[in-house]
């Protein structure tokens, strides 16, 4: 199954960087204000969703789902659920950070939602990549400038970090003590992160 790209109306300045993540067979869902990014991305909308409070409803032959402005799901969350209905197993979210902090945090929660359903998902922005570490170890290559681990859904325990400047064995991170910030991959190595209980948000700060 092809990958679903969800494009929100958040900040993007390095279109060259984000275009490097896109593939020809991706299916793109543009969410409302995300349409402002369309001329700068090398991908055409396969679906447009939104309540169109940030961008005028386009006159287009592309399938468009118009949402009410009073609703529980954000446009981006609705897009993720709609893509799940259509059978997508892998997700890349762009244009979903920066600007309003509340929207950024909700969009990070989409990663948790998709992880609960055992779907592969990442957020990529101008400077970083984000994904959830839960059941399977995650590898971090040397192209990463630094990386951080935060718990965003309660306590995470049994944390193991190898191949990094600050290794860890059996660690625990709680929401009120986030000490997993600014680690580095050791030269010539690949770092690995795993957790036995709970979930972690891995943020790669790219070079």
pLDDT tens-digit series, residues 12-28: 999 999 999 999 999 99
Chain centroid to Cα 152, Å, comes to: 14
Give the domain ranges of the chain.
Answer: 4-126, 133-206
Give 103-151 pLDDT, tens digit per residue: 899 999 999 999 999 999 999 999 999 999 998 999 999 888 899 999 9
Report which of 6, 174, 133 is spatially closest to residue 81, judged by C-alpha positions.
6
Domain 4-126: homologous superfamily in CATH: Thiamin pyrophosphokinase, catalytic domain (3.40.50.10240)
Q: Return the number of other C-beta atoms located less than 10 Å from residue 32's C-beta.
A: 24
The second-level CATH assignment, the architecture, of 133-206 is: Sandwich (2.60)
pTM, two decimals, is: 0.93
Compute the Cα dihedral for 194, 178, 97, 20 and give only its sign. negative
pLDDT-derived band of residue 86, with 50, 70 and 90 as boundaries? very high
């Amino acid at each position: 199954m092809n990958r679903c790209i969800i494009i929100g109306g958040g900040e993007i300045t390095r279109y060259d960087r984000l275009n490097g993540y896109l593939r020809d067979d991706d299916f793109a869902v543009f969410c409302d204000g995300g349409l402002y990014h369309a001329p700068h991305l090398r991908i055409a909308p396969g679906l447009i969703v939104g309540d169109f409070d940030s961008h005028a409803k386009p006159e287009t032959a592309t399938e468009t789902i118009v949402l009410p402005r009073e609703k529980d799901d954000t446009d981006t969350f609705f897009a993720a659920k709609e893509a799940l209905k259509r059978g997508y197993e892998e997700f890349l979210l762009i244009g979903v950070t920066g600007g309003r902090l509340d929207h950024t945090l909700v969009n990070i929660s989409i990663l948790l939602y998709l992880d609960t359903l055992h779907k592969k998902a990442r957020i990529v922005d101008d400077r970083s990549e984000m994904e959830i570490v839960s059941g399977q170890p995650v590898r971090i290559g040397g192209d990463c400038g630094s990386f951080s681990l935060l718990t965003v859904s309660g306590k995470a325990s049994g944390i193991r970090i190898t191949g990094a400047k600050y290794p860890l064995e059996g660690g625990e991170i709680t929401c009120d003590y986030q000490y997993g910030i600014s680690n580095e991959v050791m030269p010539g190595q690949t770092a690995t992160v795993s957790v036995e209980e709970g979930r972690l948000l891995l943020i790669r700060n790219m070079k």
